[in-house]
Amino acid sequence: MFIIFWLISINNSYAQPKRYSFTEPKMGAPFTIVLYAADSSTAASVSEDCFHLVDSLVLIFSDYIDSSELNRLCAAAGKNNPPFPVSPALFDILKISARAYNLSNGSFDITLGPLSRLWRRARKENSWPPADTVKATLALTGFHKVQLDTVTRMVILTQPGMQLDLGGIAQGYIAQKVTERIRLYGIGNALVNVSGDIVTIGAPPGKEGWTVAINAPRSEEEFLPQNLLITNKAVTTSGDIYQYILHNGKKYSHVINPKTGYGITSQRNVTVIANDGTTADWLTKAISLMPLRQARRLAKQLNAEFLIAEMKRGELVYHSSESFNNFWKSIAQ
């Protein structure tokens, strides 16, 4: 009996999963996969497959790659052009974006692509665009100009010059798809981090969850005093830490207000915890623009939680959904 028990103990010790971490540059930022697997070859094989998946989705969704499927769709914009057949992945993210637009009352809108490009160029050149240019560019937007045929998987962009921008949803979508691929390998503990869009599976062995830090508003190096503890959830933080433009003493975020065409000027970070990476990603952008009461109602509808960390007159002010505090990691942990 002792020998059998001893052999079982040895076998179990070999079966204990080990932590492996892989990082590659994707979408202009580090893309990290952390997973627990039985051996290094399994872990490497899984990560390689996942990074191939990322590359394939980037070739579909990117507006930086001229030959991407998204840009080819946008090049076919206009009523006189025939409907454009799209891949299952692109149609899926467009359907989710349409739902997000409706649920957020237009606060999240992927048709802001022409404005995204205008302000991207303005930030690069540090040049403030004329008001009439912003107004004319804003006229190219509007989700009512996007027609989706769910039967044929065809898409029509009715106005020439339209440009879709998936930057506010694609990272979370890709992170979610990667975690789904990891699950197919039977791995039950993993974390995917796409430049701050985080999706988790399970928890590190022996831990109650994954520990996630949140940036303080307008700070690249400072974090909020507490960390989050999450498992089988996604978390995303949106703010103007890295992408903004200064004009007349004001800081305009890369998050654009669909009503005005200008970046928002509030000094806030929005963190969302949701059941999937796609929702967490787009919901941070929507809540950045929504009144607090409306944000709470939408988060509840989506079974999500949020935290707004806002600088007001030099002081840090918090607003949150009802149960966000349940995710703070206690000091004892």
Q: What is the β-pairing status of strands 305-312 and 268-274?
A: antiparallel
SS3 223: strand
* 270 assigned to some structural domain: yes
The pair phi, psi for residue 79, each rounded to 5°, is -60, -30
Of the candidates 123, 157, 191, which is a domain's last residue?
157
Residue of 171, 169, 146, 149 whose CA lies nearest to 159 = 146
Residue 160 backbone class (left: φ over 0; alpha: ψ -120 to 50; beta: rest) = beta
DSSP classification of residue 326: G
Whether 152 and 212 map to the same domain: the answer is no
Residue 240: predicted pLDDT:
59
331 and 212 in a single domain? The answer is yes
Identify whether residues 151 and 258 lie together within a single domain: no
pLDDT of residue 160: 95
Helix H or strand E encompassing 307: strand 305-312
Q: Is residue 290 part of a domain?
A: yes
160, β-bridge pairs = none
> Does residue 177 belong to any structural domain of this protein?
no
- Tell which residue, 281, 143, 285, has the closest CA to residue 295: 285
Give the domain CATH number at 78.
1.10.3980.10
Place of tokens 């697997």: 37
Q: What pLDDT is recorded for position 105?
A: 96
In a domain, 127, yes or no: yes
* pLDDT given at position 310: 80
Q: Give the chain's domain count.
A: 2
Separation of alpha carbons 170 and 172, rounded Å: 5
Query: Considering the domain boundaries, does residue 74 fall inside one?
Result: yes
Return the pLDDT at 79.
79
73 close to 164: Cβ distance less than 8 angstroms: yes
Say what the pTM is: 0.91
How many other C-beta atoms lie within 10 A of the C-beta of residue 153?
18
For the domain that residue 276 is a member of, what is the CATH number?
A: 3.10.520.10
Q: Is residue 165 helix, strand or coil?
A: coil
Q: Residues 125, 227: one domain?
A: no
In which domain, by residue range, is 278 found? 208-333
The reply to whether 104 and 222 lie within a common domain is no
> What does the pLDDT profile of the chain (333 residues) look like in tens digits?
434 433 333 444 456 899 999 999 999 899 999 999 999 999 999 999 999 999 999 999 999 999 999 999 999 999 788 999 999 999 999 999 999 999 999 999 999 999 999 999 999 898 999 999 999 999 999 999 999 999 999 999 999 999 999 999 999 999 999 999 999 999 999 999 998 899 999 999 999 999 999 877 665 667 778 899 999 999 999 875 557 788 888 888 888 999 999 988 876 789 999 999 999 999 999 999 999 999 999 999 999 999 998 877 778 889 999 999 999 986 555
141 and 252 part of one domain: no
- DSSP annotation of 126 reads T
**In the block, which residue shows the tokens 């052999």?**
7
User: Per the domain annotation, does 182 fall within a domain?
Assistant: no
Find how far residue 178's CA is from the centre of its chain: 13
Residues 333 and 223 in one domain: yes
**Confidence at residue 15, expressed as pLDDT on a 0 to 100 scale:** 62
Last residue of a domain, one of 138, 157, 176: 157
- Neighbouring CB atoms inside 10 A of 323's CB total 13
